[in-house]
Amino acid sequence: AQGLGRNRYQFYSPEMNERALELIGLEGDLRFAIERDELFLVYQPQISLETGEVIGFEALVRWQHPVRGLISPAHFIPVAEESGLIVDIGNWVLKTACCQYVEWMDEGLVSGTIAVNVSAHQFRQPDFIDTVEEALIRCGLRPEHLELELTESVVMHGIEDVLCKLEELDQLGIKLAIDDFGTGYSSLSYLKQFPLFRLKIDQSFTKVLPEDLEGGAIAKAIIQMGHTLGLEVIAEGIETSEQRQFLQALSCDSGQGYLFAKPLSVKECPGFLRNFRES
């Protein structure tokens, strides 16, 4: 970098170095996060817009780092994806969420479905279906109570293999949802072939409601298309009652967001369920 003079800082800035080191450090720590019991799940309720009842929960992973504190999945899931650690983490999430849900079902607190996020790398594992089945068996959860959330980029990539896998999961009785719908690239003709149960409208469309006309038009289009294809539609990121009303008027089936509840700890869920049913 000698001859570059002060220009070298354009290519190799201290900030970049710090960022790279941080990611490397994070990856090293993440490798041990499961065995050190640093990962945990929080659960966000999903609500029927028609009846106001809880129809299920989405499991969301958290990392309590011993030094850095709580780390958001938006920060460490990409690291986990790139390093392949997401496979072990994803399996841990799946098993933990399924077993937790069985516990709540046995206590009569919940019915409906537990939704689990599946990343691209995880879905592409040849033994993905086996690990899903194993989680169900080990926890004693019936497949119709499990929903897998896949993004458009996961299902629109390598369509032949994907279709086979989705069909196998569907045969098992597991529900399939497309997450963050509208933010990726979906081929509508493939969408029609996939054995899907639900579309999740991304929160970027929900959060601009009810004022934003384009967001409203997109939400409306997704709901109509979803219903035409025989799918349920859920909106994520509902924060205000105006948003809820707007979506309900468009016949959106269900919703998720801070208006109803933030993602809750295992401890908070039973109390939430008792109170929410009463209101």
**Site residues (vs ligand C2E, CB under 6 A):** 44, 60-61, 72-74, 77, 90, 93, 117, 119, 179-180, 203, 236-239, 256-258, 263
Q: Using the rule CB under 5 A, which residue among 29, 152, 179, 253 binds Ca ion? A: 179
Which 59-98 residues touch Ca ion, going by CB under 5 A?
Answer: none
Nearer to ligand C2E, 134 or 239 (CB): 239
Nearer to ligand C2E, 119 or 186 (CB): 119
Range in contact with Ca ion (rule: CB under 5 A) among 110-118, 131-139, 253-261, 264-272: 110-118
- Torsion angle of C-alpha atoms 83, 162, 174, 91, degrees rounded to 10: -10
Nearer to Ca ion, 95 or 200 (CB): 200
Which 145-174 residues touch Ca ion, going by CB under 5 A?
Answer: 149
Q: Using the rule CB under 5 A, which residue among 45, 180, 254, 269 binds Ca ion? A: 180
Shortest distance, position 137 Cβ to ligand C2E, whole Å: 20
Nearer to Ca ion, 29 or 96 (CB): 96
Nearer to ligand C2E, 71 or 191 (CB): 71
Shortest distance, position 202 Cβ to Ca ion, whole Å: 5
- Residues near Ca ion (CB under 5 A) are 117, 149, 179-180, 236
